[in-house]
Amino acid sequence: MSKLRLKAKITLGVLFLYIMLLVVSILGYYYLNRLNEKAKFILKDNYESLEYSKNMLVALEDLPVNRAAALQQFSVNLKKQQANVTERGEMTATTAVSHIFEQLRKDSTANIAAIKMSIYKIMDLNMAAIVGKNELVKKTADNALLYIAIISGVCFLLGFTFVYNFPGYIANPIHELTEGIKGIANKQYTKRLYFKSGDEFGELATAFNTMAQRLDEYEHSNLARIVFEKQRAEAVISSLKDATIGFDVKNTILFANTQALQLLNMQEKDVVGRPAEEISRRNDLLRFLINTQENAPLKIVVDGKECFFTRETTDIQHEEQRIGYVVILRNITTFKEQDIAKTHFIATISHELKTPLAASDFSIKLLEDERTGQLSTEQKELIDSLKQDNRRMIKIVSELLDLSQVESGNIQLQPQPVTALNIVQYAMDTVQKQAAQQGVTIHTDVPDTLPKVLADVEKTAWVLVNLLTNAIRYSGRGSTIELTVTPTGTEMVSFTVRDYGKGIPVAFRDKIFERFFQVPGMKGHKGSGLGLAISKEFIEAQGGIIGVDSEEEKGSRFYFTLPEA
């Protein structure tokens, strides 16, 4: 049976039920037919004998009336009775009736009572036989019912057992297979099926076990590779000189290298695998890293020494989905110290240069004084050139001093409530002469209803002068510059300088506020490249923003905002 195919087993199971049904049907038919035969036997034999005996008695009663007809009737029924003898003693009684009938035929005075007694004996024998056979039929019927009940019960039990167990024979392997597939889906590659049958389920179990074994082997080999790659990645991360911390999308810390643990002043077991929010409650640095997105340098005290770090956040992507991010803190203390030294050097040199430059400027003014003597045209041109170069040097030195203040964080601001008109007037007084020399007209639009701004007048005017000077420098003769001041509606006041010069190429707009940057191709316009960078620092230090909108060959619009007082 174990070698049979599943289809053959199902066929045999159905055939088994059919055979049991057939057995019950045949048995029932057999006993019913047997009862029918016995019933027919009773009617045919005994009831016919009773009928013949009754007819013979009637013929005897008719003898006095019609002797010939009565004898004829008696003779006919006697012959039928003689042919229908079935019971013990019936033949003797029938023979006795025949002898007496022969005497009666010859002599009318024969003993009629004796012949009647013999006929009654025949009737009694058949009646007794009928009763006996009826009991036999009843007993047979009872036996038939008993046998049918027993066989039907046995067939029912067999059929019920088969019906109860056979579906399980089919369903249980399917259930085990389903559980096995679920186990494989959950990476339980040690799952196995144990079907001992040689049918399709056995083949399926063999194939399943082979698949699970190969998956298990692959998983272990893959796991070993993953563990190796993990160890290698951890080694790489640990060897990084920069402090590195990895987070998943739920802000759980995945890893932190030695440098990061040193900055956090925590052990690896207290950090890795823990929610960042939980740790940040007792660690200020981690709280700052996860709650603040600023990219400004961080100042962290390490071993009693102030160190500076830049922060870089990199998202980790997998199949175009963000699965985490890495925070890298790069130690820039050395560069910061060099930058501070550079700033101090620039400040010192600039300060030292101011005195000789001031002396040079004074000397040039003395040369221009007619009391020292008349100058030739060539001498005047030479002095004008010296004066321009000297003023440019003074401007550069001033910008370098301002830059050193910005870089050292020592910007001396004196914010106070002031009207926008005062700032604009201060700037216009400074650039009016230069604008006139360049043939440039400046239109101002400063409403009287503007609220006061909270600003350092001198430094804000310096920014506005720088923007106006640049606009004049890059505008053609006869062009117009628009200076407007408007409220933004967000408790800020916006200053805008609009020119119609060459404009700034798209590629350089994001770099325009960087230090020492100059737009390439602007011939004839020399500068230090510090003005806009310093302007940005001045405005942002006062809580405002500065920006530019520009289109090539159509001009530029520089703007900055200041908070209302």
* Residue 528, pLDDT above cutoff 80: no
Q: What is the pLDDT of residue 1?
A: 41
Do 273 and 247 lie in one domain? The reply is: yes
Question: For the whole model, what pTM was predicted?
Answer: 0.42
For residue 433, tell me if it sits in a domain: yes
Q: Kind of pairing, strands 480-487 and 441-445?
A: parallel
Q: pLDDT tens, 191-225?
A: 787 776 666 777 777 888 888 888 877 777 766 67
For residue 78, tell me if it sits in a domain: no
Instruction: Specify the range with the lowest mean pLDDT, choosing from 69-78, 347-356, 488-497, 501-510.
Output: 347-356
Q: pLDDT tens, 456-475?
A: 998 899 999 999 999 998 88
Q: What are phi and psi of 501, to 5 degrees?
A: -90, -145
Which residues does residue 483 pair with via DSSP β-bridges, in sequence order?
A: 444, 497
Domain containing 315 — which CATH number?
A: 3.30.450.20
Do 242 and 310 lie in one domain? The reply is: yes
Do 437 and 505 lie in one domain? The reply is: yes
Domain count, the chain: 3
Q: What is the pLDDT of residue 527?
A: 60
Q: What is the pLDDT of residue 524?
A: 46
With beta carbons less than 8 A apart as the criterion, state whether 324 and 317 touch: no
Do 509 and 534 lie in one domain? The reply is: yes
For residue 126, tell me if it sits in a domain: no
Sheet with 298-302: list strands edge to edge: 253-256, 243-248, 321-331, 305-318, 298-302
Do 256 and 396 lie in one domain? The reply is: no
* Residue 523, pLDDT above cutoff 80: no
Do 423 and 386 lie in one domain? The reply is: no
For residue 139, tell me if it sits in a domain: no
Q: What is the mean pLDDT of residues 291-304?
A: 78
For residue 253, tell me if it sits in a domain: yes
Instruction: Specify the range with the lowest mean pLDDT, choosing from 236-240, 300-304, 407-411, 481-485.
Output: 407-411
- Residue linked to tokens 């620039």: 346
Q: pLDDT tens, 413-457?
A: 789 999 999 999 999 998 998 899 889 999 999 998 999 999 999
Domain edge (last residue) among 347, 381, 404: 404
Domain edge (last residue) among 404, 435, 459: 404
Instruction: Classify 232 as helix, strand or coil.
Output: helix
Calculate what percentage of the chain has a pLDDT beyond 90: 15
- Mean pLDDT across the chain: 80
Domain span including residue 378: 337-404
Q: What is the pLDDT of residue 352?
A: 62
State the pLDDT confidence band at 17, using cuts at 50, 70 and 90.
confident
- Cα(195)–Cα(192) distance, rounded to whole angstroms? 10
Q: Kind of pairing, strands 453-455 and 555-563?
A: unpaired
Q: What is the mean pLDDT of residues 46-64?
A: 84
With beta carbons less than 8 A apart as the criterion, state whether 450 and 420 touch: yes
State the pLDDT confidence band at 297, using cuts at 50, 70 and 90.
confident
Do 513 and 431 lie in one domain? The reply is: yes
The one-letter amino acid at 101: F
Q: pLDDT tens, 98-120?
A: 888 888 777 766 677 888 888 88
- Cα(105)–Cα(97) distance, rounded to whole angstroms? 12
